[in-house]
Structures are given as structure tokens and as C-alpha cells.
Amino acid sequence: MSDPIQPLRKGATLGRSIVLKGDIQADEDLYLDGRVEGTVDLGDHRLTIGPHARVRATIRARDVDIMGRVHGNVDASGRISIRSNAQLTGDLKMAGVVIEDGAYFKGSIDITHPDAKRPEPDLSSE
């Protein structure tokens, strides 16, 4: 039987023994399974937080898949998935969200529509 996490491992990997305090900025997908404190900014790339990860960070990525523990706000232009054994405390801002049965989540959810245009202010009354 294959490892269900293996297909998600594209790009860079920070393994279980890694402890990082500071900022991560990358232009590729990232699989994180260690401990991180700071910020994680992947722009238009995917972040996978493995089952052993302990993250205290502000996160920004296209898609975020959480299997470990996260304490911090998460901003995704695509989807955030909180898996069944994951724990997330923080505010979410994304286009779509999946929270599996058994996951722990405490915070607020702001669903954005990436293709929706904001209404122009009405300047005709000036």
C-alpha cells in the first residue's frame, strides 16, 4: 500500500527534525513536517503541513493542506483543507474550505471569490 502523503510531496521538504524560527518565502510547493515559528509565504504555490508539524506562523499560499497543528492566520487564494487529525487555531481567508470530521478548528472564516470584482463606488452624486 502506498503512502497517502507521498503524492503531495512536490517541491521543497522540511522534515520532522527541522526547527525553524523566522520567515520562509518560496516560489515552489512546500511540504512541512517540522516545527516553524514566523511566517510562511509561498505566493501562488501549495503548502502541505504534515501530520507531525507544529506551526506558529502567519501563512500565505495558493492552497494549504493541514494534517498537523497550526496556530496562526492562514490566507489562501485557493482552498484550505483541514484533515481529520489536524488542529488549527486562527483566522482563515480563502476561496474554498474543507474541514474533515474529527478536525479541530477555532477561529473565523472569510470566504473570498477570486474572480469576483469589487463594486465600483458611485461617484455620480458628487
The confidence score (pLDDT) of residue 119 equals: 54
User: H helices within the chain, ranges in order?
Assistant: none
Rg over alpha carbons for the chain, rounded to the nearest Å, is: 16
pLDDT of 118 strictly over 80: no
Taking the CA atoms of residue 63, residue 69, residue 70 and residue 75 in that order, the dihedral angle to the nearest 10 degrees is: 10
pTM listed for this prediction: 0.81
Confidence band of 56 (pLDDT split at 50, 70, 90): very high
